[in-house]
Structure 1
């Protein structure tokens, strides 16, 4: 794997030095102040989980202002810039049963009344290659920040992105701090080092492919690959075929608890999914199949590897990522624009997962059950299309998740899985552009 990292670094450096046939982003720099942008996202969030079979309920409500002030790049061969990113929040109500990475808690479990987080970053650009160092939100599929809670998950470190070669994006870097959405400490997850690398290539207007990898020191090594093919069909419709997969190997010190082998240093998993999506006017239908293989489920997030690092098709409240689990899902989305309600969308989905291997906690090598789970998901979202409130949105989401009692018991005893749950989420987002 060290060779892969060295090769990626070499490609990034060489790409920055190669003369290309298309315009340099840095040559179009407006200036440190002239190119600056600032924005605030005001969010009111509510998340409630009515959990079954002995699992504790949780409910959180809070208000936040997420801000980002980003300078432009100075002019010249090398452009420099800086910025700050962060959030300031306060709880709504008492929040006696807070949870789900929504609100920070004191040592006695009580919710913070108000809190603030964030940090600064610096950046430099040569041609079409940019290096950013400091606090940032990661969108890498192997190290994806959780953005599905009140505030985002932050990483601190170096991120390099190069677009020197047309249609090819190369990334690489190293993060040394990880802060969950409900962490006050900027390194709340105790990350030592997460080295990542990857590439995304657009073959043409129809085919895209990508590969990413990460090595979290003393925790895990993970690889991700994706191929996406989009083509037109009859009656002004189009079809998208997508294939995605992860391969993960955990080290002895990893916080992965659902292993089914006696050797804690021999935990591995491959999870993959394929989907076909049909889109015509206001209708969008997706059929997906997902499969796990290895000797443990696809455990993620608890090794400073990103609480959203699961870019697979059957991921809703449950990710259908249990040990040896297979799942099939059907999703339908309807856009109400033809009814004079542009900006209103409804999404519904049903996923069924089966063949989950549940192991005894005392003797992990002994499989005692092949469990199942199923989820019925519904979401309705309205986004303002114009006017002073343009892009403001209100989202209401509900999941009905049920699992076999043995899988629920595993969630109770080992903090694995979600377990049978009724969940509600309400999100009101109001973006404001400062300059």
Structure 2
């Protein structure tokens, strides 16, 4: 595995040094100030989970301003720049039932490590964020500092009030047309509901990968990550879009992960079978087909797990995953990731632009999972045929023009149910609502 990492890094460095047949991004730089961009996203977020079977409900309601300031690159052979990402938030109402990743809680620990009065109360207001520096040679960027990541093996959770942050460096190279190489190392991880910049106590996560656009119809990707003393994970994807008659199309997609956990890092895995300090691995893959014609979009998907545990974000400290590193089709409130689980989905999306309401979309989906090996907390199987199902609906409207252009309102609902043997292994029966109002403001 070390040879593969070194080879990827060597190719990336070599690509940064060779001359190519297409334009250099750095040669087209207008300057540090001239290419600068700045924006603030004002977000009002509400997330409520109506839990069943005696489990406490959770509900969070808050307001934030997410800032993203990014300079251009200085001119010359090597360009330099800086960036700032951060958020300032306050809760709306008392939020006494928080606990769904939206709002941070006070630790309330005294010098003896004991909970003090008011422990677990939500913060009334809070700020987070950090800065980064960057450099560019030709079409290769290096960025060091606080970042929001969008990598299939190390992704920032952006589905809560504020994003998840990682601290470290990331190199992205586009020296060869159609090919993008990525490599990086991160040593801090801050979940969306954490105040401490290394609240997840990440030791080291090394990432590498590539995506290649073969042509306008075919795209491929591979990524890997090695998280010290926790896990090693690999991801692959192939996506092909076939044009059909009458302005319709059919898109085929294959995606999959393979994960191996380090011995002793497995006590919090979903539905693991065996001793807590055993060797665990999982493979999950999915195929989907999406038909599009005008405002109509229909997707069918099949997803399957194998191994001695379910696909797992790697619960617990130091794993560097805020539950968004699952780039699979059967992913809504549940990700259908149980041990040995098979799941099938049908999804339909309609664009109301066809009815003279541009910017309005509706998505409805039903996913059913079966053959889940449910276990107790000691790794003993209690069922080999547990089931889960989710009915998902989302309506989103984005303003298309005028002073509020790009502002959006999103209403999302999930109805989730699981068999009795799978209640304690995963989410448990839940009715969920998410309401997000986003108002982006471009500063410069």
Q: Offset at 1:81?
A: 0.2
1:324 aligns with 2:344: no
Between the two proteins, the alignment pairs up a number of residues equal to 428
1:73 aligns with 2:73: yes
1:334-349 alignment, distance < 5 Å: 334-349=350-365
1:427 aligns with 2:429: no
The match for 1:198 among 188, 209, 212 is: 209
Q: Offset at 1:369?
A: 4.0
The gaps in structure 1 that reach 5 residues or longer are 411-416
The match for 2:367 among 341, 346, 351 is: 351
In structure 1, the partner of 2:409 is 394
- Whether the 8 Å contact between 2:382 and 2:421 is mirrored in structure 1 is no
The match for 1:418 among 399, 424, 427 is: 427
Secondary structure, aligned partner of 2:424: helix
4+ runs deviating over 6 angstroms: none
The gaps in structure 2 that reach 5 residues or longer are 108-118
Using the alignment, how far apart are the partners of 2:368 and 2:338 within structure 1?
12
In structure 2, the partner of 1:167 is 178
Using the alignment, how far apart are the partners of 1:4 and 1:35 within structure 2?
36
- Whether the 8 Å contact between 1:250 and 1:265 is mirrored in structure 2 is no
Deviations 1:162-217 (A, max 9, x none): 00001000000100000000010000011010000000001111100000000000
In structure 2, the partner of 1:49 is 49
- Whether the 8 Å contact between 2:372 and 2:383 is mirrored in structure 1 is no
Using the alignment, how far apart are the partners of 2:178 and 2:424 within structure 1?
48
Using the alignment, how far apart are the partners of 1:361 and 1:144 within structure 2?
28
In structure 2, the partner of 1:284 is 297
Using the alignment, how far apart are the partners of 2:290 and 2:158 within structure 1?
25
1:93 aligns with 2:102: no
Q: Aligned-residue CA RMSD in angstroms?
A: 1.0
Using a 3 Å threshold, how does the CA distance of structure 1 residues 62 and 142 change in structure 2: closer, same or farther?
same
**Normalised by the size of structure 2, how large is the TM-score?**
0.95
Secondary structure, aligned partner of 1:88: strand
- Whether the 8 Å contact between 1:46 and 1:60 is mirrored in structure 2 is yes
Using the alignment, how far apart are the partners of 2:230 and 2:175 within structure 1?
33
Q: Offset at 1:33?
A: 1.1
In structure 2, the partner of 1:37 is 37
Using the alignment, how far apart are the partners of 2:264 and 2:7 within structure 1?
27
Using a 3 Å threshold, how does the CA distance of structure 1 residues 79 and 352 change in structure 2: closer, same or farther?
same
Using the alignment, how far apart are the partners of 2:153 and 2:354 within structure 1?
38
Deviates more, 1:384-393 or 1:51-60: 51-60
In structure 2, the partner of 1:19 is 19
1:269-308 alignment, distance < 5 Å: 269-300=282-313, 302=315, 303-308=319-324
In structure 2, the partner of 1:148 is 159
- Whether the 8 Å contact between 2:310 and 2:340 is mirrored in structure 1 is yes
Secondary structure, aligned partner of 1:22: coil
Q: Offset at 1:307?
A: 2.2
Deviates more, 1:207-216 or 1:367-376: 367-376
Using the alignment, how far apart are the partners of 1:39 and 1:234 within structure 2?
41
Deviations 1:105-164 (A, max 9, x none): 012111100000000000000000000000000100000100000000000000000000
Secondary structure, aligned partner of 2:328: coil
1:158 aligns with 2:158: no
In structure 2, the partner of 1:268 is 281
Q: Offset at 1:409?
A: 2.8
**Normalised by the size of structure 1, how large is the TM-score?**
0.97
- Whether the 8 Å contact between 2:269 and 2:310 is mirrored in structure 1 is no
Using the alignment, how far apart are the partners of 2:265 and 2:131 within structure 1?
30
